[in-house]
Amino acid sequence: MEKERLFGKTLDELKAVAAQVGLPKFAAKQMADWLYKKDIRSIDEMTNLSVKGREALKEHFEFGLSAPTKVQASIDGTKKYLFPTDHAKFIETAMIPENDRKTVCVSSQVGCKMGCLFCMTGKQGFQGHLTAGEIVNQIRSIEENGEVSNIVYMGMGEPFDNLDNVLKSVEILTSDWGYAMSPKRITVSTIGILPGMKKFLETSTAHLAVSLHSPFDEERKQLMPIQTAYPIQKVLDEIKSWEFGRQRRVSFEYIMFGGLNDTPAHAKELARILNGIKCRINLIRFHPIPDTPLKSSDEETLQSFKDLLNSKGILTTIRASRGQDIYAACGLLSTKALVKKEEEPDY
């Protein structure tokens, strides 16, 4: 019988585990300490639980960490980790060092069903949700564990399409009994799944990032089919009803596609629709992926787009490209691993 994983359980769930195996109630907090605050990898090492209790635990549960199968390091210090998931699929995690910060970009799903035109993960299709444990494991099982300063949910998958597990992982990362990280160090990114975004804004105080990519409905629909179900204007209306500022930030991601969404008319319309929201726009260089007609904006256009937005009072920055020599576009490495796996004969 497959054992359940302890890693990824909340304090309440650990209380239920303690009751199930006959451990005292306070053992839940002890287990949380071992899981999220100490550097151990097995139930046997939970030495303040009784030997009998540990044996009872091991009958039904395992510790539940999983190591990356591959790591690639870029010349700029960025690393990309490849983690196996159930059913021989793969997810990617990026670690991006910058000055004294180490930011980890975690995946929330295996593949993705949202079908954004510019995204390699979208081309894989949806292959499954990650559990809260599999999300937090991407921080715990990398070499930089213990040095991570910031976490962004911008890897594979749409976080609000896997809302419960994402919220649970944020709870583990920010609770006193868990990693006790400040929510100000966590950013969850969405393409604008409205119900999930509302629930996230209600239940967490972590930062929000929204992928915008075009201020024009029809064009955005071509790039991001989600525009049909949740038009960006509705997403912005919801955002306007929340308080953002120093404590909690909202930012907008905008990939610059040459000759498509990088004209002055786009910048002016962006400034118009974002009017009244205290926010920042991150402009992102597009790095072409296979089988897409999209191309990158040139540097001059990128710069003047940024200047135009800044002149309209919207703080706009151009995100530095990192790890280009190691398949930095999200989904490329795992797609490669998946294709390789599928090419291998089944014995």
Which residues are marked as active site?
92, 330
The site map against ligand SF4 for 132-171 (x = CB under 6 A) is ------------------------xxx-------------
What is the Cα–Cα distance from 280 to 49, expressed in whole angstroms? 48
214 contributes a contact to ligand SF4 by CB under 6 A: no
193 scored as a contact of ligand SF4 (CB under 6 A): no
Q: Interface with ligand SF4 by CB under 6 A: which range of 51-59, 91-99, 107-115, 175-183?
A: 107-115
Q: Is 191 in the site for ligand SF4 (CB under 6 A)?
A: yes
| Min CB(112)–ligand SF4 separation in Å | 3
CA distance linking residue 130 with residue 120, whole number of Å: 18
> Per CB under 6 A, does 121 bind ligand SF4?
yes
Q: Which is nearer to ligand SF4, 121 or 214 (CB)?
A: 121
Q: Over the chain, what HEC string results?
A: CCCEECCCCCHHHHHHHHHHHCCCCCHHHHHHHHHHCCCCCCHHHCCCCCHHHHHHHHHHEECCCCCCCEEEECCCCCEEEEEEEHHHEEEEEEEEEECCEEEEECCCEEECCCCCCCCHHHHHCEEEECCHHHHHHHHHCCCCCCCCCEEEECCCCCHHHHHHHHHHHHHHHHCCCCCCCCHHHEEEEECCCHHHHHHHHHHCCCEEEEECCCCCHHHHHHHCCHHHHCCHHHHHHHHHCCCCCCCCCEEEEEEEECCCCCCHHHHHHHHHHCCCCCEEEEEEECCCCCCCCCCECCHHHHHHHHHHHHHCCCEEEECCCCCHHHCCCCCHHHHHHHHHHHHCCCC
Using CB under 6 A, which of 31, 57, 106, 116 touches ligand SF4?
116
- By the 8 A CB rule, do 210 and 280 touch? no
Under rule CB under 6 A, how many of the chain's residues touch ligand SF4? 11
122 in contact with ligand SF4 (CB under 6 A): yes
Q: How far is the CB of 100 from ligand SF4 (least distance, A)?
A: 29
The least CB distance from residue 187 to ligand SF4, in Å, is: 14
Contact region for ligand SF4 (CB under 6 A) — 114-122, 265-273, 285-293, 313-321? 114-122
* Shortest separation between residue 124's beta carbon and ligand SF4, angstroms: 9
- Contact residues for 300 (Cβ-Cβ < 8 A; gap 6+): none
Q: Is 106 in the site for ligand SF4 (CB under 6 A)?
A: no
User: Is residue 215 near ligand SF4 by the rule CB under 6 A?
Assistant: no
Q: Does 110 bind ligand SF4 (CB under 6 A)?
A: no
Q: Which is nearer to ligand SF4, 31 or 289 (CB)?
A: 289
Residue 232 interacting with ligand SF4 (CB under 6 A):
no
Compute φ and ψ for 317, nearest 5 degrees. Answer: -130, 160
Shortest distance, CB of residue 198 to ligand SF4, whole angstroms? 18
Considering beta carbons, is residue 172 or 191 the nearer one to ligand SF4?
A: 191
Does residue 209 touch ligand SF4 according to CB under 6 A? no
Pick one of 112, 197, 232, 337: the residue that binds ligand SF4 (CB under 6 A): 112
Q: Is 323 in the site for ligand SF4 (CB under 6 A)?
A: no
Residues that bind ligand SF4 (CB under 6 A): 112, 114-116, 119, 121-122, 156-158, 191
